[in-house]
């Protein structure tokens, strides 16, 4: 009878080690396949956006909204303008030579984004479901409420929504605004003009009796005429989420703006001086009745932030 040769102890140990190594590598490969994919970088997102390679970033802003967006002595100033400057610098467009502010009215904001006249809009732009069908939003970067401003001579007479329904009072607002829709919902007859500034000028000229808009815009005009107007707190019941408008076909740019707004938000939560807080203290802060903090932006992507962010 043939007896099989005895297996070498060395060969058995080597075989066992080889099998163990194979299983370990297979397990490691399985773990790697389950790892989360590498996060995209800011630079990669820039390459995907329509602004990549542009020499200038074009931001739509208001020019007749004191404290928010105003053209004063040839220079754009205001809270929205400062937020725009921060976003532009974060995207690599730092300095006036790489940034162009484009004047837009309330009614022109959506057409300007859709027509490619601007790359972004930072102009008291309320984030609504209807508008999200037409443009994208990053933010919010501010939360405000709808209020009413009246001349001091009527401050004791116009105090409630019911007062605004009185046909003897002419209530003014800007066309294409969320305020216009809210006033209509409350069955308040309104006179619609292009900008809130037109309403204020009309009140001073005796054509209107009240103007309704976001508290931020009303505070701006009150800062310009502090002895002439009073802001009346009315329970319209809605908060306005103010965001940055982005073309609906550029999700990469929307993600980038959201990422940098969130970066400012996190700086403030970590006890650092944030770009948002600096802009607020410089513009709106002294004129609002309650102290504000930057709200947390929504739908913020996870990105790797590089020091070299400027598009080549």
Helix (H) or strand (E) holding 216: helix 215-224
Token readout for 312 is: 């080549």
Q: Are residues 139 and 154 in the same domain?
A: no
- State phi, psi for 297 to the nearest 5 degrees: -65, 155
Report the CATH number at residue 153: 3.40.190.10
What is the model's pTM? 0.80
SS3 104: coil
Strands 210-214 and 229-232 turn out to be: unpaired
Containing domain of residue 132, as a range? 42-144+240-287
Q: Is residue 168 part of a domain?
A: yes
Per residue in 49-107, pLDDT tens? Answer: 999 999 999 999 999 899 999 999 999 999 999 999 999 999 999 988 999 999 998 88
Residues 163 and 125 in one domain: no
Phi, psi torsion values for 69, nearest 5 degrees: -150, 115
Is residue 5 a part of any domain in this protein? Answer: no
| Cα–Cα nearest to 118, from 166, 177, 165, 50 | 50
55 domain-assigned: yes
SS3 266: helix
pLDDT tens per residue across span 172-204 = 998 888 899 899 999 999 999 988 999 999 999
Tell me the C-alpha to C-alpha distance, in Å, between residue 65 and each of 48, 77, 245, 272: 33, 10, 18, 29
pLDDT score for 143? 95
Q: Find out whether 297 and 141 touch, Cβ atoms under 8 Å.
A: yes
Residue 1 lies in a domain: no
């Amino acid at each position: 009878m043939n007896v099989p040769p005895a297996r070498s102890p060395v060969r058995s140990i080597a075989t066992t080690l080889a099998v163990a190594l194979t299983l370990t590598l297979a397990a490691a490969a399985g773990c790697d396949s389950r790892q989360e994919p590498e996060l995209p970088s800011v630079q990669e997102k820039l390459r995907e956006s329509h602004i990549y390679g542009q020499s200038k970033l074009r931001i739509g802003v208001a020019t007749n909204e004191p404290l928010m967006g105003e053209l004063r002595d040839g220079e754009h100033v205001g809270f929205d303008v400062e937020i725009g400057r921060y976003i532009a610098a974060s995207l690599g467009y730092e300095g006036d030579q790489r940034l162009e502010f484009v004047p837009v009215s309330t009614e022109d904001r959506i057409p300007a984004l859709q027509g490619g006249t601007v790359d972004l809009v930072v102009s008291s732009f309320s984030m609504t479901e209807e508008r999200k069908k037409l443009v994208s939003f990053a933010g919010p970067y501010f939360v405000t409420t709808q209020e009413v401003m009246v001349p001091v001579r009527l401050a004791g007479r116009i105090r409630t929504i019911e007062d605004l329904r009185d046909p003897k009072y002419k209530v003014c607002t800007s066309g294409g605004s969320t305020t216009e829709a809210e006033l209509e919902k409350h069955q308040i007859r309104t006179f619609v003009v292009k900008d809130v500034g037109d309403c204020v000028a009309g009140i001073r000229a005796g054509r209107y009796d009240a103007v309704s808009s976001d508290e931020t815009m009303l505070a701006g005009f009150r800062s310009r005429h502090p002895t002439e107007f009073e802001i009346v707190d009315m329970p319209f019941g809605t908060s306005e989420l103010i965001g940055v408008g982005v073309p609906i076909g550029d999700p990469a740019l929307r993600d980038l703006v959201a990422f940098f707004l969130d970066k400012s938000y996190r700086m403030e939560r970590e006890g650092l001086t944030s770009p948002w807080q600096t802009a607020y203290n410089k513009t709106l802060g002294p004129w609002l009745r309650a102290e504000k903090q930057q709200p947390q932006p929504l739908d913020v992507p996870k990105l790797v932030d590089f020091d070299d962010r400027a598009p080549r």
